[in-house]
Chains A and B, each alone.
Chain A
Amino acid sequence: MAKTKFEVDRGLTARMITTVFLLGLVYAIGVTAALIAGAPVVTVVVIAAVILCMQYYFSDRIALWSMKAEIVTPEQAPGLHAVVDRLCSLADMPKPRVAIAKTDMPNAFATGRSQKAAVLCVTTGLVRRLDNEELEAVLAHELSHVAHRDVAVMTIASFLGILAGLVTRLLFYSELFGGMGGRGRGGGRNQGMAQLAALEFAALLFSALIYAISFLLIRALSRYRELAADRSGAILIGQPRVLASALVKVTGDIGRIPTRDLRSAQMFNAFFFAPASTKGVSISSLFATHPSLDVRLEQLAKLEAAMGRQG
């Protein structure tokens, strides 16, 4: 009886699996290193975990605070709430809190560790520039981030990256001190110092490498999750081209306006609708958190075409 009109986008799924797998691999290397190195590593890892847990639990408050956004009640913003109400009812999701940031930069983000604790935030600039249906499309994209639990996934992913870098670093230090103890009994002091310097350099290099790899993987994962949110959002509202037109409007505007505040907020696991891009970011798509506009529009055009086909 129940038919779903859209098959899963296999290409996107495959890329995401690859990224997650590679992230896991980096993590596994780190954990192996931790097991070899022993107890002191665990202490440091626990501290890192606590910091990330705090970021995870307070992600909503941190993001709202850094954007100077305020939660609004249905009485304060009836139109916005009505749109969110309907979308949540269509998607059968609990309704997140709704916030407005008073900035003319057109953007939106979703944050919060769970569906119940989620916050959707739009800027006054976004509401001003987009019509009702485009605003709905942007909110559907953000709601998809909430439904996909992107805050949790990306927090864990970045935690694994940091962990891997940290652990390899510590592993080298523990090797270092272990080695020094051995040499202290037998060999000359000068030789020990030279080895120590070489080992320290190698440790730096290796941990930097691990961090760089995990960083690139996390960025790739972030881009795939943006595409996934575009896709789910467009299917939810049934109108991919409305999301596309919102993207074009917002991206065009954002490119022209310098954007310090948005980028600093990006550190705090908030999922923006469009990145606040600077020239440096657009040069290398490898480092971008969001896919390029062309890629996003192409995906939406394909979806629109799929809706136009029979059966």
Chain B
Amino acid sequence: MKIFDVLLGRTKPIQANLDALFGLPSAFITLEASEALVPSGEAGVCYKPMAGQPFAKTTEEIEGLLAVGGDPAKVREETDQFGYHWVVLSSSDPQALVTQAHMVNTTLQEEGYGPQLLCSVFGFHPSGATGSATVYLVYLYKRGTFYPFVPLGGHERRDQQTELRLEIVLGNDLRTEKEKERWMALWGLPVH
């Protein structure tokens, strides 16, 4: 099959892998216990919008579902500088964040837009502290893996030591991304 795709210049759109998201709740516990990091209360689902009315309808459907599921004021939508769309969810209940994020991506996938999904991001900050997230867990839909992203304020630098330590900490709960070059930097995340 593969050789035919090469000969004919074809690529199959890669479908997203959604199930691994449910490993998150146990990772929340591990992060709190060993790193004193707690969920910041925000999570984001990032996808590449597709042209055309059917896709617009699907996103409207998602907005509707989110409005039913909880307080509509707690859902925010943003488009980043690269043209990717972010559905930012906020809730004080981390479990609800996981469920809502899963709802967004299953809806997209059921409508056939799985290939448009880029990543989901969950924010964390030190327990006791308030405000914005300082540590992020990024879920790569196409790989079905997680990696930590720890930006250092301001100059588009990341705290690689902390990231590598977190990878080991999370290793038992989540499938972490082994190929480090796929740990893409996500500067200016709309998730706080």
Contacts and interface: CB of A to CB of B under 8 A. Distances in A.
Given A89-B142, A133-B83, A238-B50, A78 B156 contact: yes
B81 interface: yes
B51 A307 contact: yes
Contacts of A1: 109-110
Interface residues of A, number: 52
A1 B185 CA distance: 31
Interface stretch (B1-9, B94-102, B128-136, B166-174): B1-9
Contacts of B143: 89, 92
A95 B110 CA distance: 28
Interface in A142-184: 144, 147-150, 152-153
Interface residues of B, number: 42
Interface string A79-107: 00011011011111011000000000000
Q: Could you tell me the dominant secondary structure of chain B's interface residues? A: loop
Interface in B38-87: 48-55, 81-84
Interface in A111-169: 132-133, 136, 144, 147-150, 152-153
A207 interface: no
Given A6-B13, A238-B51, A304-B51, A228 B118 contact: no
Contacts, number: 130
A297 B187 CA distance: 34
Q: Could you tell me the dominant secondary structure of chain A's interface residues? A: helix
B15 interface: yes
A236 interface: yes
Interface string B1-23: 00001111111111100000000
A307 B55 contact: yes
Contacts of A308: 51-54
B115 interface: yes
A310 B13 contact: no
A6 B52 CA distance: 14
A6 B185 CA distance: 30
Contacts of B187: 78, 82
When A and B form their complex, which 5 residue pairs have the shortest distance between CB atoms, in order from nearest? A228-B9, A238-B50, A307-B52, A85-B184, A92-B142
